[in-house]
Every structure is written in C-alpha cells, then in structure tokens.
Structure 1
Amino acid sequence: MTFRNAIKADKHLIWYSLGFSGTIIMEGYGFALITYLFSFPVFNKKYGEFDDVKQDYELRYIWKALLPLVAQFGSLIGVFLCSFLVSKFGYKWATMLMLVLLAATICVTFFAETVQMLSVGFLLQGIPWGVFQVASPGYASEIASLQLRPILTTWTNLCWVIGQLMASAIVKGFQKYPGDLSFRIPFALQWVFIVLLMINVFLAPESPYWHLQKKKGTNQANDARKAIKKIVRKGDPQKVEAKLALMQHAIHQERKKQAPDAPGFKGKLGRFVGMFMGVDARRTEIACMAWLIQSMCGSSIIPWAPKLFEGAGLDPSQALSVNIALPAAGILGTLGSWGLMRKWGHRAIYFWGLLVMALLLTGCGLASLAPDSIAGWAAGGILAAFTLVYDLTIGPVCYSIVSEMPSIRRRAQTLSAARGTYLLAGLINHFLTPKMVGSDGDSWNWGPKTGFLYAGICAISAVYTFYRIPETNEISTRELDILFQHKVKSREFCSQRAKDLDEVERREEEAEEMRRSDSTGSAALQPKNA
C-alpha cells in the first residue's frame, strides 16, 4: 500500500491515535508555561522578591530550579505508575483516569497564592504528564499500520511543540493583562483542552495487543477482534481476522523465543526485571539511551530560551517575541521529518541530526563573543535554527525509535524505564540550565556560552548512535524480534535480513521436526524386547 492510500484508508485509526497523542499537548503546554512565566513581570512580582542587581522583582533562583524540578519528579512518579495502570486498565482507561486527575490538580495552580502552593500543584500535575509520556507512543505503536507508524509515533513530538507554541503565544498575549488573571487564565485554559481530549479518548478502541495479553478465560480473542474492527479499513471481516491472526502469531513467537521472567520475581515485577535480561536487555538499553540523548542534546535550552536571550542583551518583551519563533520552527521541523524518514530512515536522521546540532550549538556559544547589541539576536537566530533541526531529527525520530524498540510483552515496562531515564536526565537539566542561562546574582550567567557544553554532548551521542542504534523504519514488529534474537549488528538491520533469518530458522525447525518424526518411527518399529 502506498503512503497516500494508507492515509485515506486509515482515517479512523489516525483520529484515535491523535487523541492519545494530544495528551502530550497538555504536557508541553503545562511544562513550558512554568518557565515562560519566569519572564512575566506580574508573575515575578506576585511570587518573587526585589532583586538589587536587576532593580526589579525576580523569582529567586531556588524556585526557578525547584518548580520545573518538582514537575519532573511528579512525571517520574507517573512514568513508573504507567506500567501498572496500563497493565491493569489498558491504555484507554489509564489515560482517561489521568485526564480527570489533571483537571483536578490544575485547581491548585490556578488558586495558588504562594510559590509553595504552586510547587505542590506542579508536582501533582506532573503525575498525569508522566503517564501520558509512556501511554501515547505505546498506543500509537501498537495500533498503527506499518506505513503510518513513523507518522503516528512522531506526532507525539509535534504535540509537545504545539503545546509549547500555545504556551508561548498565550503568555505573550496576556503579558500586559492587568492583575493576577494575566497568569491565572493560561492555567485555566487547560480545562478546555482536557474536555476535548476526553471525548476523543473515550471513543477510541483499546489496543488489541493489550486484550490478547490479558489473563486466560477473559475472552481475549473476542475483545481484541472488536477493537481491531474499529481500526482496520471499513471494518472488513477478512482483514479483521487476518490482523488478529498476525497479532496472535507475533505474541506466540515472541513468548516462545523470549527469555522468561527474572527468576525469583513473579507477575509484573518479573516482567519489569526481565527486560534487563537476555535479548530484552539490548532493546531496553537502546530505548533508554535514545531518550537520554534527546534529553541531553541541548533541548533543555529551548524552554529557557527567554532567559538566555535576556542574558545576551534583550529586554523581557523582546525575549518573549523572539521565543515564539522557536516552537514555530519546531512545528515546521516535525512536519518535514515525516518526509525525511521515508527517504533516509531513522538511524541516519538521528546520527546526522546530532552532528548538525553540535555545529549550531557551537555557533550559539560563539555568539557570546559578539557585541551586546547583536549577541541576543544572533543567539536567537541560531537557536531558532537549532530548534528547527532538533524537531526535524532528534525530537520526533526519538519517539519512533523508542516506541519500536520494546518487545510486545514488555512494551509498557521498557517504555517506562526509558522515559524514567529521560526524566532523571531532565532533573539534572532543570537544576543546571537555569544556573547556566540565568542573569540574576545567583546564576553563573553563561548565556549563549551554554551551547559549548551541549555541543560536546551531541558529538559523543553521535558516536553512540553510529554503533548501537539500529534502523527500524519499515521493519515489522515480528521482523524486529527476529533481528534482535539473532543478535544482528545495529548497522545491518533491515527487513530483508530478517526475512532471510526467518527462512533459515523455519528450515531448521522443519529439519528438526523430520528428524524427530524419523526417530519416533524407528523406535516404533523396534521389537518390544529389543
């Protein structure tokens, strides 16, 4: 099937997946709102203190670091809760539950009178954000057809960027609104998004893979069949049965070849520990490292861009204006990545993206050597280009790579571990980034020089990508299982190699079956007293 035909035929599938991915808009919007408001004069006056260096109100460094930090910590809790919630309730109802929780916790930030109350609100909001981070790419990967899988998994990144753009535009629009409502209304607008997302998620089917892995005696096949009927083109009964059979075969083969759960551990804990053993250990390592690279490649500068621009010489209003260009560049980059992935694949984009970003971050650092009158605008232009490249390569492609790495049986656990790695790195970023780009008395005041540090990290990550991250584009779930089971080198992953290995394996099984049959037949011909 061509890509264009797949889009026309799978409209319902696309709509369902976008509903789950849309929850990432909530995370991108809410998280960006935290840091964008630090350049908001009314917000700083409400929750900050008078700074003798700047001769203006400024939120203390400890709270600039702590507010994003507690949100990340809440997300970390949500990430590890997600494995249990998805296994118990499925992707659909786990997401619905977290949307209700998010609506309730927004009340805390909306009515907060102190910065301490704000921190509690962001901590609680982080929990559903963490669940969304795992459930969204996991669901997209399980229901998507092979042609649409790169689009639906990378759409998650676009949703994150859309959230950032909305936060940037809304903060800019309410910057001069009088009183506390200028920063409370941006919090309240999240309730509108939640209602729309709940309607879409409620109408979506559960993942058929989740139904097929429920306990025996729970009508697995029938429930999966109903879900598949809502996913396949026009609910064609023949296609429903074919897809169901393929899913059952993939799960059966995976269980037959996969290492058992860790000895001494039972149930979900056994699955969680088991993903670090045997063939799954490599898949878990790659998923964790891919998300770690995305976190440490300099992307943490983007939410703090207004402060970096201020450190380079722009006033707060100019900084917020330039900042709007960053998520806009991100949207263009993500849309462009869809065509790029079809031509280049995932691995090449990841590798070359890191190298180009290393060069741009070096340029950002060199911008600090320019006169103050142009340093801010130069850094802004380079960061806009960096954001474009990031969202053309590492940003969206990471979601596709990570969601395709885990085995079916341990998908939720592996994605939880990978996203947990990302968030742990995020905790470090959110502690150090405001220190590096800040311009108040408590900061290091590196400004654009921060680019030098992240340029080095990008170069190291490119080396890892070359040797360890395999190609996954246009390789089916079953084919990926075969390649990992045969320990194929990352640089040699391709669909044809999987087919060749599968054919060899099938012939060996047939030969073994024939030898077994011959042996049984010979034994039957022997006299009883022989």
Structure 2
Amino acid sequence: MNDKIQTEDTVDEKHGTVLDTVIQVTQAEHELGFWKGAKLYPKAVFWSAFFCIAVIMAGFDPQLVSSFYALPAFQKKYGQLYEGEYIISAPWQTGLGMGNAVGQLVGALACGWPLERFGRKRTLAACCCWSIAWIFMQFFSSNLTILCIGEIFAGLGYGFYVVIAPVYASDVCPLALRGVLTASVNLAFVIGQFIAQGTAAGVESKTDALAYKIPFAIQWVWPVILLVGLCFAPESPYWLVRQGRRDDAKHALEKLTSNKDRTGLDAMLVLIEETDLLEREIEASTTYLDCFKGSNLRRTEICTMVYLIQVIGGNPLIGYSTFFFTQAGLASANAFYMGVGNTALGFVGTCLSWPLMLKHGRRTIYIRGMAVMTTILFIIGFLDIPKHNTGAIWAQATFMDIWTFVYQMTVGPICFVLICEVSSTRLRGRTIAIATAVQSLFGIVFTIGMPYMLSSEQGDWKGKAGYLFGAISACCLVWCYLRLPETFGRTFQELDIIFDAGISARKFASYEVVQEVHELRKVE
C-alpha cells in the first residue's frame, strides 16, 4: 500500500514538474520579441526561407503561362489567326490554366500521407526530382497538347510545395517569428510571379523560340538548389516527436537555434511533447476524416475559407493582369511593364505586412484588407462605364496595382499565417492539403471562366469583371466578421484549448487560457 502511495506521489510530482515547465515555456514564448527571437533562432529563419524556394516555383509557372498569352512569339507558335492577329484561343487558355490547377489539386490531396510517413525533407526532395523531369516536357513541347500535359504533371509537384513550405515554417519557428516566417510563403509566391513577369517582359521583343523556352528553362534552377540544401536541413521537431524519435527532435532543435542551453532545449521539447499529447487526447488518429470531426471541423472551415478567398475574392484578375491590360486597350509592351509593376508592388506590400502583423492582430488586418479590396473592385467596375477612354483604362490598371498592394499587405500573407496557426499540429499537413485542394478546385472554375470572361472573342467583360469579384468579396467580408478568430500571440497549445472550448471568433482575443493550462491532463 505504501509503495502504491509513493508511486502516485512520484507521478503527481513528475506531472506537476511537466506542467510547470509547460507554463514557463509558454510565458517565455509570449515574452520573446521578434528581434530577440530572430537572434535566438537564426537558423530557423534561414531554413524556413529555404523551404519557401519551392513555393517560388508554384508562383512562377502559372503566372508565366498566363503572361505568354500576350507574348507575340508564343502566340505565333501555338496560337491561331483571329482578325489578322495570332491569339491563344479561350479553350486553350482554359486548358493550360486548368492543367496546373488540376495538378495542384491532386498533389495537395496526395501530400498528406507522404508528409506524415516520410517527413518534410524527404517528401520535398522527391518532389524536386519530379519537377526536374516534367520541366523537360514543357521545354521541348511542340504543341499545346504536350504543353498542357506537362503543366498537369508539373502541377502535382506544386500542390506538394504549397503544403510543405507553410507546414515546415510553422513547425520550426517560435511564437515570436511564426507570423513573419509563415507569411514569407506568400512572399515566395510574389517573388515567383515577379520573376515570371520580369522574364516575360524581358523576352517580349524576341521573335524566336527562345522567347518562351528561356523562361521554361529557368525552372530547373530551383529544384537543384533545393536538393543540395536539403542534405543539411533539419527535420521538423514536431514530426520527429510524433514518430517517437525524441533524441532526433532535440538534435533538430539544436540545429534551429543559436542557444546551446540544454535546459532550454529540453523545456522546448517538453512543450512540443505536451502539445502533441493534448492533441492526441482530442483526436486519436490523423486521417483526413479527423479534419471534419469535433473542433477540427471548425478549424478546417476557417483554413479552407481564408485560402479560398485568395481565389474568389479577386485574385484571378491579378493572375491575368498582363492579358487584362492588353484586352483593356494597352499596348503589349505597356501591358508587360504594368504587369511587372503589379508584382513589384505585391513584393513591397508583403514586406510591409511583417511590421503590421507584429503589432496588430491577424483578424484585424485581414478584415480591414478585405474591406479596402472590395471597394477597389467596385471602382474598377465603375471605371469601365466610359467606352474607349484611355484615361479610364490607365485608371483601371492603376487600381489593379493598388488592389495588389493592399492584398499582398493584408489578405495574401495573413492567409498563410492563419492556416498554420488555426490547424492543429497533428493534422496541419492534411488540413492545409484540404484547404489547398479546395482553393485549387475553385481555381479551376475561374480558370475555365476567366478566358471566356475577358477574351475579346467571347465575353469581352474587361473591367466589368470588377463587379463580379466585388460582390463575392463583399460576401467573404461578412464571413470574416462572423467566423474569423484572432490567433495573434497564442501558442499552439493555447489554440488547441480555445478551439476545444468552442469560443466564438469575436471572443478569441480576450479569452483567458491560464486556468485551463493548469488543469491539463490531471492524473486520475
């Protein structure tokens, strides 16, 4: 009997020590500032940025292909004559755009299992090899059918990339750096789009096959860089803990921080283990079905919607910006220059989002951004009322650039922060995969519709597309107000507790979690 009492006392003492450690580490996470965090975790910053190189590819290819629709050499090689000019027909624009989107949809859904089975590093390495192979088909394609097949299979890899990068960033960085590093995924998209626009503008005057082959060849650079760097990258400590590889997880933490304090690393490891334990108590398994059970259903809804808004809230107009500018009446060269300026503003906007999210909440930035973007879309629509007015055309192009700037400063980067913070650590890969797949599915819908909407031989909507996207954006703004929670300044464990408690979105920021942390996993 005495032995039993002593054993229970020992368990209680050990459990109390663990809880004390969790509380201390949580408090330390809250007190850690951005610059101190960057100094303490410089390698986490580097490797998060390194994994985002994969997302550059995902931003580069779709933007490049849509820019080719206004490229004279590409039009002459793959297009057809229409009223004395070569054009890429709306059906083929749809087919090429759908190829990439379909590939991303399938790739995102397929990503969940290998990501959990083989880890982040090996999965990304396999995808790089896959991309290298299918770029050959794009480069040597002799007709639009072969090019479309290449887009489909290359898109499979992009579906993996856009899941792996935010998952890895959220796994390796502390609370103080989580917003900026996960938002860097959006910056990688913008960089890819910017390089694509700049490359297309640089070859616009070329009349031979190099005008479109050079941009395709550039895509071989990034997977090679990734394959070399992955040999030295640390694996996700969260994934290693789930695999029961505690020592490897600790070694990974050592590679991510400049702090060699063993006690501090042990404490951080305890927090990771306790977060995983809490989530295992909430959900016993990690299947796609679990993403739709209990509190995870709400988390999946939020992740899916904030990602979906990127597609349905006006972004398709930006993806077709160069083509839109030419259809609106700008000369080909001016359209390409406006396209480059559009993505350059996106780059600046994303960088400005970093200081914003260090001071303001995710919900606040997202909702205010949506309000401004919705207004701009309606303005673009109203500016289409004057017919054949050069000033109105330039005003539309300018407002598209402003829309891009606001989007990339608010909704664009905050989306990736939210999908990483809202999803549970155990289901993060699958939750983001679902959100990516839904986004890609609706991307296919707009890929089918946009060419018919904008093409001069079809709908010829021009700026009137702003009415459609403005109305959709307004509906999304209402959803954001009612359903989007504030995750700023919360550890993953705190977010697990709040979601499990069913707290409403508007009360997330004020909810106190301290008492619940003290009550975690009491010994029965």
Q: How high is the TM-score relative to the length of structure 2?
A: 0.91
Instruction: List per-residue Cα deviations over 1:32-67 (Å, max 9, x = no partner).
Output: 111001100110110011112xx2111111110110
Shift of 1:311: 2.2
Within the candidate set 289, 296, 304, 1:288 is matched to 304
Aligned residues: 492
Q: Distance in 2 between matches of 1:58 and 1:492?
A: 53
Q: Which residue of 2 aligns with 1:404?
A: 421
After the TM superposition, list the runs of 4 or more consecutive aligned residues in structure 1 that deviate by more than 6 angstroms.
none
Matches within 5 A, 1:170-249: 170-214=199-243, 220-249=245-274
**Contact preservation (8 Å) 1:20, 1:136:** yes
Q: Which residue of 1 aligns with 2:334?
A: 318
Shift of 1:469: 1.0
**What SS does structure 2 have at the residue aligned with 1:176?**
coil
Which structure is higher in RCO with an 8 Å CA cutoff and minimum separation 6?
2
**1:330 counterpart letter in structure 2:** G
**What SS does structure 2 have at the residue aligned with 1:384?**
helix
**What SS does structure 1 have at the residue aligned with 2:81?**
strand
- Alignment gaps of 5+ in structure 1: 262-267, 517-530
Q: Distance in 2 between matches of 1:237 and 1:344?
A: 34
Q: Distance in 1 between matches of 2:450 and 2:359?
A: 35
Shift of 1:204: 1.1
**Contact preservation (8 Å) 1:205, 1:227:** yes
Q: Which residue of 2 aligns with 1:386?
A: 403
Q: Which residue of 2 aligns with 1:95?
A: 124
Within the candidate set 56, 59, 64, 1:33 is matched to 64
Structure 2 CA distance for partners of 1:333 and 1:321, relative to 1, 3 Å: same
Shift of 1:175: 1.3
Q: Distance in 2 between matches of 1:211 and 1:419?
A: 24
**1:324 counterpart letter in structure 2:** V
Q: Which residue of 2 aligns with 1:337?
A: 353
Q: Distance in 1 between matches of 2:199 and 2:315?
A: 21
**2:103 counterpart letter in structure 1:** G
**Contact preservation (8 Å) 2:72, 2:207:** no
**1:207 counterpart letter in structure 2:** S
**What SS does structure 2 have at the residue aligned with 1:50?**
strand
Matches within 5 A, 1:289-308: 289-308=305-324
Q: Distance in 2 between matches of 1:235 and 1:204?
A: 18
Q: Distance in 1 between matches of 2:273 and 2:252?
A: 14
Q: Distance in 2 between matches of 1:239 and 1:454?
A: 49
Within the candidate set 229, 240, 253, 2:278 is matched to 253
Matches within 5 A, 1:340-379: 340-370=356-386, 371-379=388-396
Instruction: List per-residue Cα deviations over 1:436-489 (Å, max 9, x = no partner).
Output: 2222x1x20000110111111111111111111101111000000110111111
Q: Distance in 1 between matches of 2:392 and 2:228?
A: 47
**What SS does structure 1 have at the residue aligned with 2:385?**
coil
Within the candidate set 471, 496, 499, 1:481 is matched to 496
2:505 matches 1:490: yes
Q: Which residue of 2 aligns with 1:448?
A: 463
**Contact preservation (8 Å) 2:322, 2:339:** yes
**What SS does structure 2 have at the residue aligned with 1:57?**
strand
TM-align CA RMSD:
1.5
Residue identity over aligned pairs, in percent, reads 31
**Contact preservation (8 Å) 1:296, 1:454:** yes
- Alignment gaps of 5+ in structure 2: 1-31
**2:332 counterpart letter in structure 1:** P
**1:309 counterpart letter in structure 2:** F
Q: Which residue of 2 aligns with 1:126?
A: 155
Q: Distance in 1 between matches of 2:175 and 2:306?
A: 21
Q: Which residue of 1 aligns with 2:12?
A: none
**Contact preservation (8 Å) 1:480, 1:498:** no
**What SS does structure 1 have at the residue aligned with 2:200?**
helix
Q: Distance in 2 between matches of 1:496 and 1:354?
A: 25
**Contact preservation (8 Å) 2:498, 2:508:** yes
Instruction: List per-residue Cα deviations over 1:335-360 (Å, max 9, x = no partner).
Output: 11111112221001111111100110
**Contact preservation (8 Å) 1:313, 1:375:** no
**Contact preservation (8 Å) 2:42, 2:257:** no
Q: Which residue of 2 aligns with 1:57?
A: 86
Q: Which residue of 1 aligns with 2:185?
A: 156
Structure 2 CA distance for partners of 1:308 and 1:178, relative to 1, 3 Å: closer
**2:214 counterpart letter in structure 1:** I
**1:488 counterpart letter in structure 2:** I
Shift of 1:395: 0.5
**Contact preservation (8 Å) 2:39, 2:258:** no
Shift of 1:235: 3.5
**2:263 counterpart letter in structure 1:** Q
**1:397 counterpart letter in structure 2:** I
**Contact preservation (8 Å) 1:47, 1:115:** yes
2:435 matches 1:418: yes
Shift of 1:376: 2.1
Instruction: List per-residue Cα deviations over 1:342-398 (Å, max 9, x = no partner).
Output: 222100111111110011001111111234322321111000000000001110000
